[in-house]
Amino acid sequence: MGEVRELDERRILAAVDHTLLRPTATWEEIRQICDDGVAYGCASVCIPPSYVKQASEYLAGKLPVCTVIGFPNGYSTTAVKVFEAQDAMANGASEIDLVVNLGWVKDGRWSDVLAELRAVKEACGEHILKVIVETCQLTQEEKEKLCELVTESGADFIKTSTGFSSGGATAEDVALLRAHVGAQVQVKAAGGITSLEDAQTFLDLGAARLGTSRIVALVKG
């Protein structure tokens, strides 16, 4: 059993965007996240935009740097989001996690939502764009519509949650997103992933990435 668990841990860690987005995060904490991300074979580190340049220089290509834009509320203007993405990439980010405009979603302004996603994806170019849809704030119909728009936009991932709202990833939402996005779009589960068992469940349901601050600590013991 021990060998099977080790294999599962490697699979889980390889999908982890090792995350620290707390507003009071210090460079020393970010540096530790970077060190652990490399040591434990994570997919990336996901950190605040203001630390991207320092972390990118520190990591020197050993691990991709991911950051967040329009975070956590999503109601920045499209121009601001585009600039944030361009600035982050200029500073060394290779992955961008964008929060969708939830007000526009609630207004049914689908063409505006799609135009914004396309604008940010165009700015990202070959860099990975993940669209955070904040599933805990959405109806079933809104989730399905956003799967359609994220697919149409050319974004690379749809992501469940910021981790800063009223709820995080659920098994039901991960399965729903996987079922409704296009085959070329991957799913990232994030927010409230507190156990290796949860992480394994999300991967088994079709998630390709896990946004979490806890999994590495659990493996470290």
Point out the residues that are catalytic.
Answer: 97, 159, 188
Residue 155 near residue 181 (C-beta atoms within 8 A): no
Other Cβ atoms less than 10 A from the Cβ of 22: the count is 12
- The tokens of 1 are what? 């059993």
Other Cβ atoms less than 10 A from the Cβ of 185: the count is 22
Nearest to 19 by CA among 199, 213, 165, 214: 213
C-alpha dihedral (152, 42, 161, 30), degrees to nearest 10? -120
Residue 188 DSSP SS3: strand
β partners of residue 130: 97, 157
